[in-house]
Amino acid sequence: MEIVPEMYALAVGAGLLAGVINTLAGSGSLVTLYALVAMGLPATVANGTNRIGVLIQSGVALATMRAHGVKRPTGLLWMVTATTAGAVVGAWGATQTDPDILEWIIIGVMWATLLAVFFRRSDWSRKKSEDDSGRPSVTKIAVLVLVGAWGGFLQAGVGILLLVALVLVAGKNVIEATTIKLVVVLVYTVVTIPIFLMEEQIHLELGLVMGLGQAVGGWLGGRFAATSPRAPIWIRRLLVVVIVVAALELMGAFAVIGGLL
């Protein structure tokens, strides 16, 4: 596929927007996936290529938050292990599946997640995380394995699912949940990228260019999450907006509206 200058601009712009959204909430991959497909990549290659930017953005955002004093959360090892195990299985499944059949599954997950964001609203503003120094429950492990499998399979929406799982199931506050999300995504992306490379489903050049934009977006999002006292409120609001817009777009609502105008 021939790369023209306009594609570089689109890749960087989409990456910047997705980097901010992914760091603070999730589903920024919907932006990058649409951009990559619009540039002419097959959906399977777009799905693999997207992982390059996610890796870069997660590393930059995590380093930014640590530089601004965000501490290492407790229970990190078992959470990373559970999600990475699921992600390996999901990534393999993604290389064997026609992505077209996933759209209505994604839509269902988005609307279900929106309901979860409004459920137990006080949990989203908690100051301290629950004590998880003991052995994690089977339920917590199972939920994170399933979320990891989704992330390995498609990536889009996994940030939202992780935040919901970490806040509502694992009992973390929003800032700790955001930090854990970045670590989890960083680790399982390192593990799953070789799977997509072996199946020749990564366009490395576009992935690296898009990653530059996502690095800047990750830095901006990480800095805001670490320094703003109102970050938990805005993260929850952004979650709601991103979920609604993503679900409506996947349902074709905006295309219908555009056809009526």
Cα–Cα distance measured from residue 208 to residue 203, given in angstroms and rounded to the nearest whole number: 9
pLDDT in tens, 106-152: 667 667 767 766 765 555 556 566 656 668 889 989 999 999 998 88
- For residue 1, the surrounding DSSP H or E stretch is none
| pTM greater than 0.75 (yes/no) | no
φ and ψ of 127, to 5 deg: -85, -40
String of DSSP letters for 50-89: HHHHHHHHHHHHHHHHHHTTPPPPTTHHHHHHHHHHHHHH
Q: Assess whether pLDDT exceeds 90 at residue 34.
A: no
DSSP class of 26: S
pLDDT in tens, 68-106: 777 777 778 889 999 999 999 999 988 887 766 655 766
Identify whether the C-beta of residue 214 lies closer than 8 Å to the C-beta of residue 19.
yes
Least confident of 48-62, 96-110, 227-241: 96-110
Identify whether the C-beta of residue 130 lies closer than 8 Å to the C-beta of residue 140.
no
Residue 219: count of CB within 10 angstroms of its CB: 20
* The predicted structure's pLDDT at residue 193: 94
124 is written with which tokens?
A: 């989203």
Q: What is the 3-state secondary structure (H, E, C) of 186-228?
A: HHHHHHHHHHHHHCCCCCHHHHHHHHHHHHHHHHHHHHHHHHC
pLDDT in tens, 167-223: 888 888 877 888 888 889 999 999 999 999 998 999 999 999 999 999 998 888 888
125 is written with which tokens?
A: 């503003």
